[in-house]
Structure 1
Amino acid sequence: MTEFLAEGPVQQLIFFLGTALTFLSVGYLRGRAAGGQSGRNDTSEFGNDAAILKLVVEHAHEGLVMQDIYGRIEWTNPAYSRITGYSAEEVRGRRPQEFVLVSENQLSAEEIENFKYDLTKFRSGVEELILNRRKNGELFWNQLTFAVVEGKTEEETKIILICRDVTSQVEHMKELEAVRSRLKHQAEHDDLTGVANRAKLTSFLQERVSAAAGPESLIGIVHVDLDHFKDINDSHGHCAGDTVLRHTADVLKSVMGDKGLVARIGGDEFVAVVSDPLGPEEMETIGKKILDGLAKPVKVDHQNLKVAGSVGLVLADGTKASSSELIHRADLALYAAKKSGRSQFAWYTDALGAAHRHKRMTMAQLDQDLENEALTLLFEPQYSLERQQIAGYEALPRWLHPSEGLVDPVRLLSLQEDGKSIAQIERFAVRTGIAEVKRLREAADANVFLSVNLTEASLRDPGFPALISQLCEENDLPAADIVIELDERIIRFDDADGVAWDLGRFSDIGCRIALDMFGSGHGGAGQLLHLKADGVKISPVLIDGVNHSAKQQQLVQSIVGLAGSLGLQVSAVGVDTPEQAALLKALGCSLVQGRVIGQPLSPREAEIHMREFVLQTH
C-alpha cells in the first residue's frame, strides 16, 4: 500500500481529495511550524505528504476507489471495504457493477465488459445516489462523487470515486417525505369522504384555468347539493348523515373516474371539475349518472334511506373565466336546479348570470337604504264587523324598488342569509308603526291597535320584546294593543316548544299573538294546541270564492267554531267584496281586511280614511 501511494498518481489524488484534505495538510504544517523551536528541523514527523495522505485515507469514513478508464478497480481504502463488505483483494481488477448493483439495476455481462467512461460527458464533481448491495446482501444507499485524474493518454486517466453510506439520511428523508405527503394529503382532502377539499379544488381549478390555451380549452363544473339533507340528520342522526355523505362522494368518484377532480366544499355540497369535457352532451350524461347514483337507497342500520340531489352544470372557455367565476356560475346553476323542483340538473346561462347581477345590484341598493332607513310604512286597515268601524292597522314596511316600485323588502331576502336585515326591517315597522298609531289614536280619538308581522329573525332576537315594551311606554300605548302576527308556515310541530317559548316572551309583556295565513295548507288545527295564541287570521286562499263554494263556507265556519271554542278572535284577510264581508259576519268572523275595507295607505291617508270610511253592503 505504501509503495502504491508513493507512485506518481498519488500526487494528483491529493488534489482531488478536495479542499478538506488541503486545509488539513496546510493547517498541520503551519501548526508544526508555529509550535517548533528556533533552529529545529520542521519536517513532518510523518516524513512526507504521502505518509500524511496514507494516514488520512486509511482513517477516512468515506470509501475511496481508484478505477481505470474501463471502470476496473485499481485501489480502495479500508472504508470502502467496511461499507461494501468486500476486501481490497476481492475487488481489485473488477468493476463495481459486477458485485454491488441490486437486481433491478443489474447490467448484462456484455454491458459490463464493454463499459468505458465517456470523458466527453464525464467530468469531476459529478454526483450520483444509487441503491447498492453489500456482500452480506444488505441494501444501502451509496452517494458517489466522481473525479477525473487526467493522464498523458486516455489509457492512463484515472477515475476517483468517493463513496458515502447515506442510508440513514435517505431513510430519514423518506420518512420526512412520507410525513410531508401525509400532511399535504390531510390539508387537501376531506377527512370524512376522502375526496378533495375546498383548498385543493381552488388550486386544481386555478391550474386548469392557467393551462387553458384557447376556445377549445373547455372546463366543466358539476355542483351537487343533497336535497333535504338536514332532515336525514334530524331524523336518523349524524352517523346516518355521514354515511350518506360518503355514499355521495363514492357516486361522484365512480361517475367521474379519471376525468377530473371531486371535492367536498362544505356540508352536503360537492363540486366536480371535468377536465377537457367533450361538450354539453358529456356534461349532461355526467349529471344524469350522478342523479341516478344518488337516487339509489343508502342502507343505514338495516334501513334504506332515500337520497336525492340537485345538480348545477357549467361548461366554459377556460380563457374567459376565473376559477372563482366558474364556481359562482355553478352556484347559480345549482340554485336554478333547486328552484325548478330539485332532483334534477340545470345549466348556467348568460341570462341567469345577468339576472343575478341585477339582483345583486338591487340588494346592494336595499342594503344602503336600510342603513339610511329609507323605507316607507303603509297601514292596511282592519275593520270590526261587530263595531262597524276601523279597529286597527297592519303595519306593512315597503321599499322603493328601482324598477318595480314599492315592494315588501322582506320577500326579497333569505332568512338564512339575511336574518339581520330582516330583523332591521321589522324593527323599523314596530318603531314607526307605534309612533304613527299613537298619532292616529290622538287625531281620531279611537283606540286602534297595531298588527306587525314578525319572522323567526325577530322572534329569536332576545332584545325584541324589550324594544316593544320600551316603545309602548314612550308612546303611552298599551302593549295589549300590539298584535304579533306570525305566518303559520314557520310553526313546526317538532319545534313547537322553541317557537312557543319565543312567543311567550312577547305574551309576557302583554302583546297579543295571532296565527296568520291560517288554512293555507301549510299547517293545521294542531298548531293551536301548541301555541298560546289570541287569534287566527284566515288565509285569502279560503276567502277567495267563499260565496260560491259550500265546502269553503263549511271550512271557514269550522275554523270560526274551533277558534271560538278556544277563546280566539277570528280575522279574515283578502276580503274584496261586500258580499264576502256579509257572509263572514254571518259565519261569526270578527275582523276583516282587504280591498273592500281599503288598500294599504300612508299614515296620513289612514287618518282621513278612518274618518270617512263606511262599509258598503252591496
Structure 2
Amino acid sequence: MAIPGEQPFHPSGGRSTHAVTPCDILIVDDDPALCRTFPRVLGRPGRRFDECASVGEAILRLERQRYDLVLLDYRLPDATGLSVLEWLTGRAREEAVILISGEDTTDAVIGALRGGADDYVRKPYSVAHLQRVVDNALHKAALEAANRAMSQRLKASEQLHRYLVEISPDLIFTLDAEGRFTYLNPRVSALLGYDRQSLMKQPFASIVAAEDLERFEAQLSRPGRSFTLELRLQRRHEDADRRLGDGVTVSLTAIPMEHVDGPLGPASGLYGVARDISERKRAEAIISFQAYHDQLTHLPNRALFKDRLELAIAQARRRGGMLAVMFADVDRFKLVNDSYGHAEGDALLRGIASRLSESLRRGDTLARLGGDEFTILLPDVERPDDVESVARKIIATLGAPFKLSRADFRATVSIGIALFPRDGDSAEDLIRHADIAMYRVKRSGKNAFRFFEPELNSHHHDRIRLENELRLAFERDELELHYQPQVSLSRKEIVGVEALLRWTHPALGSIPPSTFIPVAEEIGLIGEISAWVMECACRQLAEWRAAGHTALRMSLNLSPHDFGHRDIVDTVIDCVRRHDLPPAQIELEITESLMMNDSDGVAAKVRALRDAGLSVAIDDFGVGYSALAYLQKFPVSTIKIDRSFVRELNGQAGNPIISAITGIARGFGLCMVAEGVEEVGQVETLGDLGCDVMQGYLFARPAAAEQVGRWLDGGMEAMAD
C-alpha cells in the first residue's frame, strides 16, 4: 500500500509512474527555522505543509481542516502540545500525531503516548530518523484509514443484507441440528400470523400442515442435503380459541450449513427460504378447472368426461361389471335462444344442469359437451332397469317449468342410452351409440329415452350416407320439380299447379320428400333447397305464361326453417320480380305448426308477403292446431283441406270436420283447395260442401313440366287421356 505523500519505489529501482495519494501535514512549532526546515527534509510529491506557532492557532486550523499528520512541538507559547492531543482525542479525530520535544524525561514520553501521540521524537534528532518516523506514521495512518473504510463497507454490507432479509417477502429462517428455529425474519407474522419470538426454539414441523408433515420430516431426516418441496404451512388466527386456521402453500428450499462459525462457535443446521405460492397454486387450479370444466355450468367437459368414462370402463372390465352412458339433448332449446336471447338460454341451461345433478347419485358424472348436449356416466350398474329408473327420474325432474325472466318454459330432453359391455367396449363407441339412440328419440317425438339397439347403428350409417348424398345432389343435378294440377270444377280447367320436389338418385332410386326434407332441415341445407325450388318454379311459370297460360297460379311449399331467415321476404319478392310475374299468381304454402312457433315473427313475415301481393295458403288445415285466432292474426288467402279428411269421404253426406272447414273458409272469405282427391264420390261431396278447386290422383299425378305443359295446352280432355 502506498504511503500518503510518498511515491513508492518500483521493483526495478526507479520511481513508479502511479499517481501518489495527496497528504496534508500540519507543523505546530514556535521555531521559525524548524518550520522552514521540515518541508525541505520531509517533502515528497503530494505532500502539502501548513504551519502555526501556538496551541490556539493549531486548534483553529484543525477546526477548519482535517490533516493526515500533525508534527507537534511539546513546548508552545500558550500551552504544551498535550493540549492539542487532548483536543483531538476528545473529538475522536483520526490525525496521526508525532510529538517533537527537547524533553528527555520518561514522564514526558509516557504522557505524550497516553495522550494519543503516535510517536515521540527527542531533540536533537537526525534528519534520517525524523524521515523514518514520519514515513512510518503516515504508513500506519494509511493502513488504519483503509481498515476503517473496509470495516465501514462490511458494516454497510451487513446492514444491507440484514435489511434485505428483514423486509424480504419470503419467509427466511435458520434451523438448528434438531430442526428448531434459531432465526426467523418478520415475514412470518404477516404470512402465518405468528409472533416470531414465540416460534424461536420451536420445531419447524409444528407449523407444517398434517397432510404434508410426513414428506417434510422425510427430507429433514437426510442431514447434509439440500432439498426443495412444496407444502402447506398452518396459518394461526388470533381468534378466541386460537385455533389453527387455513394454510398457506409455500415452495420451501433448505440448504445445510454444516460447521458454520457463528458468534457462539461452530454451528450446524439448515438455512431455508419459504416463498408463498398460494396465488400461483390458485391460478393453476383455476386454469386446470377451466381446462376440464364447462364455464357456463361448471360441469365436467368432454375431456374430463372421457377420462372418467375410460377409468370406469377399465374398472368395470376388471370386475366384470356394467355401466351406462346417457346422451341427453334439450328439446326445442333453439326456441328459447331465438325468442328470449342467449342470456335466457344460458340461465335455462344452468337450471337444467342443476336439476339433472339432483337426479343422479354421488358417484355418477354429469357433463356438458357443449350447446344443449349433456352426457351422464352411471358406473356400477347392476341391470338395465336401474338405468331406466334414472332416465324416468330425469324426465320427471324436468317436468316443472323453469322460471325465466320473461316467461316460464317447460323443458324436456331426449335421452339415448348405451350399456357397457353390451353396446361397446370403448368410450368413443358408448358415447356415439348413446348419441344415435338419442337422435332416434328426437325423430320419434322427443321427451323420452331409448336404449341403443344394433339396428340403430345401420340406420345411423344410412342417415350419414343420405346426408352426404343430399349435399352432392345439386352438383349431380339430381333434384327436379314435378307439378300436380289443381282443377276448378266450375270452370272445367286447370287453374293452378303445385310444385313438388323430387330426388332421383342414380343408385338409391326415387327418394321421397318425407325422407330427405327432414334431413335437409337438420343439416341446414333446406334454405339452399328452398331457394332452388323458388327459382325453378318461378322460371317455369314464366315459360307457361309466355305460352299463353297467363291465369295459371303456381303453388309451392316453404319449410318452417325458411321463416327463421331474416331475408326470406326479400328473397321471395326478388325472385318473383326477376321473372316478371304477377305476385298474386304465386301462392306460398305454410303449415299450421309454423303459426304456433314464434307467431309474432312469422305473422310479420306473412303479412309482408301478403302486402307484396303474394298469396299464402295454410297446408294440411285441420290436422294440427287449427284455431280461429290464428286465422285472424295471419293474413292468409287460402286453406287446403288435408287428404286425411278427404279420404274419409265415401259419397256420404260429408265429414263434420270438412263441413266446419268450409264454413270457416266462407266466414273469413278464404279460398279452398282439397288435396288427395282420388274418387268421384269425394268430388261430389266436396262440391256440395262448396269446395271448387281440387287436386289428386283422380285428375292427375304429379308430372314433369313437359307433360304438364301438354295438359295445359290440351285442357281437361288431355289430362283425362
- Of the structure 1 ranges 214-223 and 536-545, higher mean CA displacement relative to structure 2 is found in 214-223
Residue 471 (structure 2) aligns with: 367
**CA, structure 1 residues 582+206, in 2 after alignment: closer, same or farther (shift >3 Å)?**
same
Identity, % of aligned positions? 24
**CA, structure 1 residues 556+207, in 2 after alignment: closer, same or farther (shift >3 Å)?**
closer
Residue 607 (structure 1) aligns with: 709
Matched, 1:389 2:490: no
Instruction: Give yes or no for contact 2:179–2:204 (8 Å, CA) kept in 1.
Output: no
Query: Any residues of structure 2 matched to 1:133-212 within 5 Å, and which?
Result: 143-147=253-257, 159-164=268-273, 166=274, 169-170=275-276, 173-182=277-286, 184-185=288-289, 188-190=292-294, 193-196=297-300, 200-206=301-307, 208-209=309-310
Residue 584 (structure 1) aligns with: 686
Aligned with 2:609: secondary structure? helix
Distance 1:350 1:297 in 2: 35
Matched, 1:515 2:618: yes
Aligned with 1:311: secondary structure? strand
- CA RMSD, 1 decimal: 5.1
**CA, structure 1 residues 324+491, in 2 after alignment: closer, same or farther (shift >3 Å)?**
same
Instruction: Give yes or no for contact 1:57–1:64 (8 Å, CA) kept in 2.
Output: no
Residue 478 (structure 1) aligns with: 582
Residue 557 (structure 1) aligns with: 659
**CA, structure 1 residues 528+161, in 2 after alignment: closer, same or farther (shift >3 Å)?**
closer
- State the shift of 1:334 in Å: 2.0
Q: Which amino acid aligns with 1:396?
A: L
Aligned with 1:523: secondary structure? coil
Aligned with 1:220: secondary structure? strand
The C-alpha deviation readout for 1:163-190, integer Å capped at 9, x for no partner, is 44x3xx32xx113322443454456545
Q: Which has the higher contact order (CA 8 A, sep 6+)?
A: 1
Query: Any residues of structure 2 matched to 1:460-539 within 5 Å, and which?
Result: 461=565, 463-466=567-570, 468-469=572-573, 471-472=575-576, 475-492=579-596, 495-539=598-642
Instruction: Give yes or no for contact 1:518–1:537 (8 Å, CA) kept in 2.
Output: yes
**CA, structure 1 residues 35+381, in 2 after alignment: closer, same or farther (shift >3 Å)?**
farther
The C-alpha deviation readout for 1:331-358, integer Å capped at 9, x for no partner, is 2222233444544321123321221121
Q: Report the TM-score, using the length of structure 1 for normalisation.
A: 0.70
From 262, 269, 275, give the equivalent of 2:366: 262
Residue 518 (structure 2) aligns with: 413
**CA, structure 1 residues 599+354, in 2 after alignment: closer, same or farther (shift >3 Å)?**
same
Distance 2:574 2:444 in 1: 45
Q: Report the TM-score, using the length of structure 2 for normalisation.
A: 0.62
- State the shift of 1:576 in Å: 0.4
Distance 2:570 2:332 in 1: 36
Aligned with 1:195: secondary structure? coil
Aligned residues: 543
Q: Which amino acid aligns with 1:567?
A: G
Instruction: Give yes or no for contact 2:316–2:380 (8 Å, CA) kept in 1.
Output: no
Q: Which amino acid aligns with 1:337?
A: V
Residue 388 (structure 2) aligns with: 284
Structure 2 unmatched runs, 5+: 1-17, 22-138, 166-171, 190-194, 211-217, 261-265
Distance 1:396 1:558 in 2: 28
- Of the structure 1 ranges 473-482 and 535-544, higher mean CA displacement relative to structure 2 is found in 473-482
Distance 1:594 1:573 in 2: 6
Instruction: Give yes or no for contact 1:126–1:147 (8 Å, CA) kept in 2.
Output: no
Residue 38 (structure 2) aligns with: none
Structure 1 unmatched runs, 5+: 1-33, 107-114, 151-156
Matched, 1:311 2:415: yes
Distance 1:466 1:105 in 2: 71
**CA, structure 1 residues 433+592, in 2 after alignment: closer, same or farther (shift >3 Å)?**
same
Matched, 1:216 2:311: no
**CA, structure 1 residues 452+242, in 2 after alignment: closer, same or farther (shift >3 Å)?**
closer
Residue 7 (structure 2) aligns with: none
Distance 1:304 1:531 in 2: 25
From 643, 658, 671, give the equivalent of 1:540: 643
From 398, 411, 428, give the equivalent of 2:502: 398
Instruction: Give yes or no for contact 2:257–2:268 (8 Å, CA) kept in 1.
Output: yes
**CA, structure 1 residues 129+312, in 2 after alignment: closer, same or farther (shift >3 Å)?**
closer
Aligned with 2:491: secondary structure? coil
From 259, 269, 273, give the equivalent of 2:377: 273
Instruction: Give yes or no for contact 1:540–1:575 (8 Å, CA) kept in 2.
Output: yes
- Of the structure 1 ranges 140-149 and 390-399, higher mean CA displacement relative to structure 2 is found in 140-149
**CA, structure 1 residues 533+220, in 2 after alignment: closer, same or farther (shift >3 Å)?**
same
Distance 1:176 1:387 in 2: 86
**CA, structure 1 residues 250+454, in 2 after alignment: closer, same or farther (shift >3 Å)?**
closer
Residue 23 (structure 1) aligns with: none
**CA, structure 1 residues 458+101, in 2 after alignment: closer, same or farther (shift >3 Å)?**
closer
Distance 1:55 1:471 in 2: 91
Distance 1:372 1:436 in 2: 21
